[in-house]
Structure 1
């Protein structure tokens, strides 16, 4: 049976972990804590216990709870964006794809995923600060995934030639966030689609 010290170093199957795997394990633990609590008011000691490490290990990779939550959000954004772009129904159609990529993030919050529900729970008051601090990183992740399609749409003349990829992603993200405000979050999918078509697509699609 492994000793307590071994368990606190991710078991005795391996002496060392690389930094990327260590961060992933800590983020996995943070997700479990967020889902269990139902909000983002987690403590670093909770995450350490869930990851079976000492608290100083968490602080080594994430100096504060905000850093840890931002890491969690960025990983989820990257994974979700990669999946959504891969599963676009009509990737060659700029209007349809942009609409889908704006509406999907808004719909995913109420999809039943416990982590998404916790991140946007009323008690998760610190998330806005985390998202503000990480806005540029979120933009870079989404833009990196969208870049090939964005170039194709521009080359084909579907979107305006002077559009900047990062700025376009920021407008798309801002629209998704707006649809998650109390005024819009529980409106019908049809109403949200009309809003995107009227106030976003008209500015992007030629």
Structure 2
């Protein structure tokens, strides 16, 4: 075994162990390896099936080593989610074509984030209906996740609010929490199966308008005013 450099309460470097790994690792690198291993397990088996033992084997360490850094499976899944939030939100925010326009950008954020699920094995394992819903494993609007999204989206929301595009009395952090909860809806049937154009019309009418009303929107960006084509199932339910 190889000693891992750690620190005691006084800030002195102390020995620790990284399973049977031959590399010299610090705690940050150890956590990164375990998170990466968990992501690979999620891609293969989904959130409902991975076990600590499987993550340990995937990472090439002992089961006790995993527990040194994470208390349980949910903490591992949360760590995977948080690592992906940072990467995803950085890409989404930087790709907004009109970041000065709140109405257009809010819709773009929703659609770009939900589009990241398709074709990504880990995201599909976390969010698609075919696997156990992440909401059953973790609270998607729990504080660590809200904090991670708010770090990226908060500055934009503040700029829009200060510029008069958002209501002045909005609590921006709670706005992020609400947007995340609404995003879960868009990722669920039947909305998840809609075309991009239909999703955009839905987000514009039922989500963006809650934050950016016609009186607050820049000229020409008040959102759609025509009818949204939503199936009427009332006749079938009679």
TM-score when scaled to structure 1?
A: 0.87
Query: Which residue does the alignment assign to 2:126?
Result: 119
Select 1:20's aligned residue among 22, 28, 47: 28
Query: Which residue does the alignment assign to 1:10?
Result: 21
Cα deviation, residue 18, structure 1: 2.4
Cα deviation, residue 9, structure 1: 3.9
| Structure with a larger share of its residues in strand | 2
Q: Does 1:71 align with 2:79?
A: yes
Deviations 1:157-188 (A, max 9, x none): 11111111112112211221101112111111
Query: Which residue does the alignment assign to 2:224?
Result: none
Change (3 A) 1:163 1:76: same
Select 1:94's aligned residue among 89, 102, 108: 102
Report if aligned partners of 1:10, 1:51 keep a CA contact under 8 Å in 2: no
Higher relative contact order (CA 8 A, sep 6+): 1
Matches within 5 A, 1:133-172: 135-172=142-179
User: Which segments of 5 or more consecutive residues in structure 2 lack a partner in the other structure?
Assistant: 3-16, 217-238
Report if aligned partners of 1:39, 1:121 keep a CA contact under 8 Å in 2: no
Q: How many residues align?
A: 199
Cα deviation, residue 11, structure 1: 2.2
Query: Which residue does the alignment assign to 2:211?
Result: 204
User: Which segments of 5 or more consecutive residues in structure 1 lack a partner in the other structure?
Assistant: none
TM-score when scaled to structure 2?
A: 0.76
Report if aligned partners of 2:107, 2:204 keep a CA contact under 8 Å in 1: yes
Counterpart-to-counterpart distance in 1, 2:62 and 2:154: 40
Matches within 5 A, 1:170-189: 170-189=177-196
Deviations 1:45-102 (A, max 9, x none): 1111111111111111111111111111121112211221122111111111111111
Cα deviation, residue 140, structure 1: 1.1
RMSD: 2.2
Q: Does 1:58 align with 2:66?
A: yes
- Larger of the two Rg values belongs to structure: 2
Counterpart-to-counterpart distance in 1, 2:186 and 2:176: 15
